[in-house]
């Protein structure tokens, strides 16, 4: 047990100058000031919530209110222990862009600690089953970037976490008879949306002179750990592809080895990637206490040709028992657990081989050809369009049959399913399919805009008959000059043709607002959610949830999943 540290003891934490941006070159990361190769040596900081945040969550029911970097007192409390562990980075899974992070971020910077920040939250993320890359999600990501882009110690922004993985479904069993067995629903078609998000976020960072890296962290499943990283790196200009690849891996359990653990196989899989890679989560707990005996291997000669360090899961003890420390109920003190000293001992000697950026010439070329689309990897190379809030707003302003729902209504998805089920062609302009590589011109609009677009298209398909806008959630409105089907088609087509703001990137900016563009999400998802478990059985950060957007191609899969799940629950 460890007694609380008085604030005066913070003087033992040496102050350093502002941290230099970490940059990538070929397969490795480097300190942009010293030119030395950079290795991540960190812990996941998945909880550090002050009492004020907890109260706000209880009142609002919103997980997005939880933000560990907004708890300055908690950061101050934990810094001496971070230094004792000798870490140089923490991973944070969700933040609230509207809160103040200056106290925590400045303290971390002074202590020489970077932050790997997930842009997704449990409410705003690329959805595994019904993926989309739209104005709502991009605006959420941009707001977080604007809140953290000025902090020198932000290592990078994470586009998504475990989006592509296996989604197991329970069998449908009645009286001992298995009526339906679906081992998993494929979600590989989310890959193009991840790649499009990387493309657009990197464009935004470049346009606004931010230097942070952009990457993705995947789950330890075959398609995710092997095919996906090569897909994200292929057939694009280097300026448009991800800067790092992280994998959440829990294979080294107990007294294992480089070969027996699977680390050798993981290393061989990525040896031709040409992109920096690291373990974005690690720390198997199947054989406690954890001695972290894989750390010397990760930083040893067998792995450093491919890997650039590790982030251990996790610092604060939660119900999943992965923690290194316990925090008192009032948040004022820290008690280290057994695993803390084991990790401290391992990190003390973890350095990795030295390499100067100036003397390093990359020898691995980025993959030109993308992985072939086939039955085991049904993914297209064509990517979704860049979200353009101006174009979507222009089209939305020309619609006359629209819904009565307000932003954030939980009924939007159901209504979309109803419209698209009645007429798939009414939804063609808003549908996206990552398997076929087909994306409607307006597939990047918000869920509420998509619903209104589908309703209006259906209304005009039916020659604007009153019965065609008689849904329980429908209403009609008047738009100047739009009095018949031809006028409606001309009005919306003009919006699409001019691309609303042809001279812009189409990216909403929190600092330079485009004429008519919105910098706030048009829809905020408010339905309650729960975090999911990774393949290792622990809860790992921001988990994509089912949202309101339902592309036509995904409707059937969602219906099957819901049918099976609902029938099983009814039988329990």
SS3 assignment for 431-494: CEECCCCEECCCCCCCHHHHHHHHHHHHHHHCCCCHHHHCCCCEEECCECCECCHHHHHHHHHH
Task: Answer yes or no: 422 catalytic.
Answer: no
CA atoms of 250 and 265, how far apart (whole Å): 14
DSSP result, 205-261 = HHHTT---EEEEEEESSHIIIIIHHHHHHSSS-GGGS-SEEEEE-----SS--TTTT
CA atoms of 443 and 440, how far apart (whole Å): 5
SS3 assignment for 330-364: CCCCEEECHHHHHHHHHHHCCCCCCCEHHHCCCCC
CA nearest to 74, candidates 96, 56, 47: 47
| Cβ-proximal residues to 149 (8 Å cutoff; 6+ apart), any chain | 205, 208, 210, 212
CA atoms of 23 and 43, how far apart (whole Å): 20
Catalytic residue among 124, 136, 269, 281: 281
Phi-psi label, residue 230: left if phi above 0, alpha if psi -120 to 50, beta otherwise? alpha
CA nearest to 40, candidates 84, 87, 100: 87
DSSP result, 108-142 = HHHTT-EEEEE---SSSS--SSS----HHHHHHHH
Q: Which residue has the tokens 């907890």?
A: 54
The residues facing 335 across adjacent strands are: 326
The residues facing 307 across adjacent strands are: 277
Task: Answer yes or no: 268 catalytic.
Answer: no
> Where is 561: in which H helix or E strand?
helix 552-571
- SS3 state at 182: coil
- Tell me how far apart the terminal alpha carbons of the chain are, to the nearest angstrom: 44
Catalytic residue among 124, 136, 162, 391: 162
In eight-state DSSP terms, residue 518 is -
CA nearest to 517, candidates 531, 532, 506: 506
Among all residues, which ones are annotated catalytic? 162, 281
């Amino acid at each position: 047990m460890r007694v609380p540290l008085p604030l005066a003891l913070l003087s033992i934490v040496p102050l350093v100058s502002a941290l230099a941006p970490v940059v990538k070159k070929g397969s490795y990361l480097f300190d942009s000031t010293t030119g030395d190769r950079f290795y991540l040596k960190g812990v996941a900081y998945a909880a550090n919530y002050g009492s004020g945040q907890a109260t706000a969550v209880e009142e609002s029911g919103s997980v997005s209110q939880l933000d560990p970097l907004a708890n300055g007192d908690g950061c101050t409390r934990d810094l001496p222990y971070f230094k004792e562990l000798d870490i140089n980075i923490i991973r944070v899974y969700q933040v609230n862009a509207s809160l103040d992070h200056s106290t925590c971020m400045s303290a971390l910077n002074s202590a020489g600690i970077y932050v790997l920040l997930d842009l997704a939250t449990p409410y705003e993320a690329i959805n595994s089953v019904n993926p989309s890359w739209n104005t709502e999600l991009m605006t959420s990501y941009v707001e977080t970037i604007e809140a953290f882009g000025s902090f020198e110690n932000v290592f990078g922004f994470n586009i998504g976490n475990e989006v592509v993985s296996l989604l197991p479904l329970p069998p449908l069993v009645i009286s001992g008879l298995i009526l339906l067995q679906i081992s998993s629903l494929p979600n590989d078609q989310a890959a193009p949306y991840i790649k499009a998000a990387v493309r657009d976020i990197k464009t935004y960072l470049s346009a606004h002179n931010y230097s942070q890296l952009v990457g993705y962290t995947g789950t330890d499943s075959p398609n995710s750990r092997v095919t996906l990283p090569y897909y994200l790196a292929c057939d694009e200009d280097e300026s448009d592809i991800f800067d790092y690849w992280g994998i959440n891996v829990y294979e080294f359990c107990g007294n294992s080895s480089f070969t027996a653990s699977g680390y050798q196989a993981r290393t061989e899989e990525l040896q031709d990637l040409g992109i920096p890679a690291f373990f974005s989560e690690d720390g198997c707990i199947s054989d406690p206490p954890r001695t972290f005996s894989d750390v010397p291997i990760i930083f040893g000669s067998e792995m450093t040709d491919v890997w650039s360090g590790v982030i251990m899961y996790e610092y604060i003890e939660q119900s999943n028992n992965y923690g290194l420390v316990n925090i008192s109920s009032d948040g004022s003190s820290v008690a280290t657990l057994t695993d803390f000293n084991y990790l401290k001992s391992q990190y003390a000697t973890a350095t990795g081989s030295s390499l100067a950026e100036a003397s390093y010439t990359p020898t691995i070329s980025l993959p030109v050809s993308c992985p072939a689309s086939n039955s085991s990897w049904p993914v297209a190379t064509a990517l979704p369009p860049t979200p353009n809030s101006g174009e979507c707003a222009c089209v939305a302003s020309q619609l006359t049959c629209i819904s009565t729902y307000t932003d954030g209504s939980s009924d939007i998805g159901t209504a979309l399913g109803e419209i698209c089920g009645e007429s798939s062609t009414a939804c063609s302009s808003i549908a996206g399919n990552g398997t076929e590589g087909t994306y409607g011109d307006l597939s990047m609009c918000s869920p509420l805009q998509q619903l209104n677009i589908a309703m209006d298209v259906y209304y005009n398909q039916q020659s604007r008959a009153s019965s065609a806008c008689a849904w329980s959630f429908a209403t009609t409105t008047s738009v100047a000059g739009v009095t018949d089907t031809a006028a409606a088609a001309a009005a919306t087509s003009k919006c699409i043709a001019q691309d609303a703001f042809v001279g812009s990137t189409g990216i909403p900016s929190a600092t330079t607002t485009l004429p008519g563009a919105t910098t706030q999400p048009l829809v905020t998802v408010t339905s309650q959610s729960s975090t999911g478990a990774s393949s290792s059985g622990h809860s790992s950060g921001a988990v994509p949830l089912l949202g309101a957007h339902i592309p036509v191609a995904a409707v059937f899969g969602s219906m099957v999943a819901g049918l099976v799940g609902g029938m099983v629950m009814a039988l329990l």
